[in-house]
Structure 1
Amino acid sequence: MKIIDLFAGAGGLSEGFRQEGCEIVAHVEMDKSACNTLRTREAFYYLKENNLLHIYIDYLLKSITRDELYSNIPQAVLNRVIEEEISNKTIPVIFSRIDDLLREDTVDLIIGGPPCQAYSTAGISRDPNRMKNDPRNYFYRYYIRFLRKYQPKMFVFENVRGILTAQEGRVFKNIRRNLSNAGYRMDYRILNAKDFGVSQIRERVIIIGWKKELEFQYPDFNLEIEPPTIRDLFIDLPKIKAGESVNGEGEYYLEKNIAIPSIRTEDWSLLTQHIARPNNDKDLRIYRLVVETWNKEGRLLKYNELPLELKTHKNDASFLDRFKMVRYEALAHTIVAHIAKDGHHFIHPDIEQNRSLSVREAARIQSFPDDFYFEDSRSAAFKQIGNAVPPLMAKEIAKKLKSTELI
Structure 2
Amino acid sequence: MKQYNFIDIFAGCGGLSEGFKKNKHFNMLAAVEWEKPQVENLVNRLVEKWNMSDAETRVLRFDIQRTEELFEGWSDDVEYGSHEGLDSLLNNQSLDLIIGGPPCQAYSMAGRIRDANGMRDDYRNYLFESYLKIVRRYRPKLFVFENVPGMLSAKPGGIQVTDLIKKQIEECGYEIIEDLKQFALLDLSEYGVPQKRKRVIIIGLRKDSYSDIQGLLKSFYMEQLPKYKEKPKNVYDAIADLPKLLPLDKEVRVGGRNYSHDLTAKVENHLPRYHNSRDINVFKLLCEDIESGRCEYVSSESLKQLYTEITGKTSNVHKYFVLRWDKPSNTIPAHLYKDGLRHIHPDSIQSRSITVREAARLQTFDDDYIFISSTGDNYKMIGNAVPPRFSEKLALALESLL
TM-score range, shorter chain: 0.7 to 0.9
Paired with 2:98 and 2:308, the residues of 1 have a C-alpha distance of 53
Partner of 2:176, secondary structure, is: strand
Match of 1:20 among 18, 23, 26: 23
Offset, 1:306: 2.4
Paired with 1:346 and 1:110, the residues of 2 have a C-alpha distance of 33
Alignment of 1:4-403 (within 5 A): 4-21=7-24, 22-47=26-51, 74=53, 76-88=54-66, 90-93=69-72, 96-167=84-155, 170-187=160-177, 188=180, 189-213=184-208, 214-215=210-211, 216=213, 217-218=216-217, 219=220, 220=222, 221-222=225-226, 223-241=228-246, 242-245=260-263, 248=266, 271-295=267-291, 296-298=293-295, 300=298, 302-306=302-306, 310-313=310-313, 315=314, 318-319=316-317, 321-403=318-400
Paired with 1:282 and 1:212, the residues of 2 have a C-alpha distance of 59
Deviations 1:205-241 (A, max 9, x none): 1100010121342213324401332112223211113
Deviations 1:121-173 (A, max 9, x none): 11111222211211111111001000011100000000011111111552110
Paired with 1:300 and 1:93, the residues of 2 have a C-alpha distance of 55
Structure 1 unaligned spans of 5+: 48-72, 249-270
Partner of 2:160, secondary structure, is: helix
Offset, 1:85: 1.7
Q: 1:126 to 1:391 in 2, by over 3 A?
A: same
Paired with 1:83 and 1:246, the residues of 2 have a C-alpha distance of 36
Paired with 1:148 and 1:370, the residues of 2 have a C-alpha distance of 37
Give the conservation status (yes or no) of the 8 Å contact 2:5–2:94: yes
Deviations 1:323-353 (A, max 9, x none): 0011111110100011101100000001111
The one of the two structures with greater contact order (alpha-carbon pairs below 8 A, sep at least 6) is 1
Partner of 2:268, secondary structure, is: strand
Offset, 1:9: 0.8
Q: Which residue does 1:2 correspond to in 2? A: 5
Paired with 1:94 and 1:33, the residues of 2 have a C-alpha distance of 22
Q: Which residue does 2:249 correspond to in 1? A: none
Q: 1:107 to 1:311 in 2, by over 3 A?
A: same
Give the conservation status (yes or no) of the 8 Å contact 2:141–2:206: yes
Offset, 1:309: 6.0
Offset, 1:79: 1.0
AA aligned opposite 2:187: N
AA aligned opposite 1:354: S
Q: Give identity over the alignment, percent.
A: 37
Paired with 2:66 and 2:100, the residues of 1 have a C-alpha distance of 18
Give the conservation status (yes or no) of the 8 Å contact 1:246–1:273: no
Q: 1:142 to 1:245 in 2, by over 3 A?
A: farther
Offset, 1:185: 0.5
Q: 1:350 to 1:3 in 2, by over 3 A?
A: same
Q: Which residue does 2:257 correspond to in 1? A: none
Give the conservation status (yes or no) of the 8 Å contact 2:111–2:119: yes
Paired with 2:304 and 2:133, the residues of 1 have a C-alpha distance of 50
What is the TM-score of this pair, normalised by structure 2? 0.83
AA aligned opposite 1:78: E
Paired with 2:368 and 2:175, the residues of 1 have a C-alpha distance of 37
Deviations 1:2-25 (A, max 9, x none): 111111111110001111122111
What is the TM-score of this pair, normalised by structure 1? 0.82
Q: 1:308 to 1:180 in 2, by over 3 A?
A: closer
Q: Which residue does 1:50 correspond to in 2? A: none
Structure 2 unaligned spans of 5+: 75-83, 247-259
RMSD, aligned α-carbons: 2.0
